[in-house]
Amino acid sequence: MSDYQENSQSEYEKSGVSSRGAEDALSELLEHVLPTRKFSERYPLAADIGYFANVIDIGGGQGIAFGTDGVGTKIIIAELMDRYDTIGIDCVAMNVNDLICVGARPVSMVDYIGCSFTDARIFSEIGKGLAEGARQGEISISGGEISQIKEIINGVDLIGACIGHVSLDKVNTGKGIQSGNIIVGLASSGVHSNGLTLARKILLGETREEQEKNINQFEERLGRTLGEELLEPTYIYVKPIMEMLENGIDLKAMVHITSGGYSNLNRVENDNIRFVIDPLPPVPEVFKMIQEQGNVSDAEMYEVFNMGTGFIVVIENMKEFTEVSKICKKYNIATEVIGYVERCNGKEVTIPKLNLIGRGQKITKTN
């Protein structure tokens, strides 16, 4: 997958999503938000802002984990197919998969639906997906909000906020990672809920008319239609990860692979380590199609998409991998060793086979 040109402007930026712009906006936002930590000194935070979720110290050695996320432009795939019964699974997944990264057990979630219309059938289907996601993640949906804001939103937007429970001595932000640790990848179900703006415009077309025409196109390489492939729900990793923790497996870090791809490993609160992704896992057909049809560089593919790995656990040795693999097999999630940790000056992710290096959330080619 190394025959594609590096572009001065990424395909993702051309599709309308600016990673650089998002970083600048976040920096300006955090300038005002970070000082608010001192406004609630009675309930201090247990982690820095920027990890997958945070934890509030509520006393007695106990913490409440919390986070928020949405389904992004995957909702447009649901609109194109006029099928909304799985998008709620994605909303739950994006929240609970972040929450478990700090070692917390997800407990409950609220949803927010911003919309330009209310349709009983569509909202029933969204509710069906939320309920199924809650079942898979073993949480309750404890409330929510429907906001009709036609002046702002054209269609439907779905966002959630989730809380969980964790003992403060069990909060995990990757500080225990050491050189020689093993990187284990848990398979994704496909594109999940990141990079859909780029995937949609490459596979379905630039215009709404083209997308409506191509959404039901059958692809032999995928064994189903493009719409069915892109709408495939995000895997929920709560049950296997919780079982690993309950069985005493020493998970050095738990990392949700979302936007940023493998560079999400750089979120761990541990410096002077390099995550070496080798051997590189097989790439699912949908990502090969996106790269081929869109002439997308390796660097951008591995920065925008999960490329077949939806979640990562870092463990100490191969004996623990046997236990991790055994648990994941119970939940029909494939696992494989995809790399190792070594010392370095700074913190980075490398993919030697493709000459890629990731620092922060950015992945670039080394030569």
Distance of CA 169 to CAs 51, 343, 353, Å? 17, 26, 38
**What is the DSSP pairing of strand 182-187 with strand 156-167?**
unpaired
Q: What is the pLDDT of residue 15?
A: 61
Torsion of CA 358, 359, 361, 366, to 10 degrees: -40
Does 64 score more than 70 pLDDT?
yes
Percent of the chain at pLDDT above 90?
A: 87
Looking at the chain, which residues constitute the CATH 3.30.1330.10 domain(s)? 43-170
Q: What is the pLDDT of residue 12?
A: 67
Looking at the chain, which residues constitute the CATH 3.90.650.10 domain(s)? 174-365
Q: What is the pLDDT of residue 20?
A: 64
| The CATH number of domain 43-170, selected from 3.40.630.30, 3.90.120.10, 3.20.80.10, 3.30.1330.10 | 3.30.1330.10
Does 1 score more than 50 pLDDT?
no
Q: Say how far apart CA 173 and CA 46 lie, in whole Å.
A: 10
pLDDT per residue as tens digits for the range 72-121? 999 999 999 999 999 999 999 999 999 999 999 999 999 999 999 999 99
